[in-house]
Structure 1
Amino acid sequence: MYALNSEQDASPTFPDAEAFACIKKELGLSLDSIYSSISLSPIAATSLGQVYKAQS
């Protein structure tokens, strides 16, 4: 299990603009209308996606 965790932690990120476009497309709203703030770059990445810190 530890080996899988370390591999996920080392996964490369994909472009932030692409991530933000996916959020906007999936939710049908602009990021500004959903979140009062969102990090400009991910705080974590895995093989399944990446994580941004945001507040609504």
Structure 2
Amino acid sequence: MKMSLTGTAANLVTLAEGAEHGGNHESLSPYVTGIGAFVALMLLLWITTRFNRDR
């Protein structure tokens, strides 16, 4: 089975167009996601520095 480059490109364009219409979920706010990620990273940083103290 041999696929041509133009056929593969056409399939990728069709796939990208489909993701454009239904890719985002209404309940996920970028601000909530960003703040949640920031808080999680700060918590991990705090835990790491607490265990990495020189005695």
| TM-score normalised by L of structure 2 | 0.35
Does 1 or 2 have the higher relative contact order (CA < 8 Å, sep 6+)? 1
Q: Which protein is richer in strand relative to its size?
A: 1
Question: Which structure's CA Rg is the greater one?
Answer: 2
Q: Which protein is richer in helix relative to its size?
A: 2
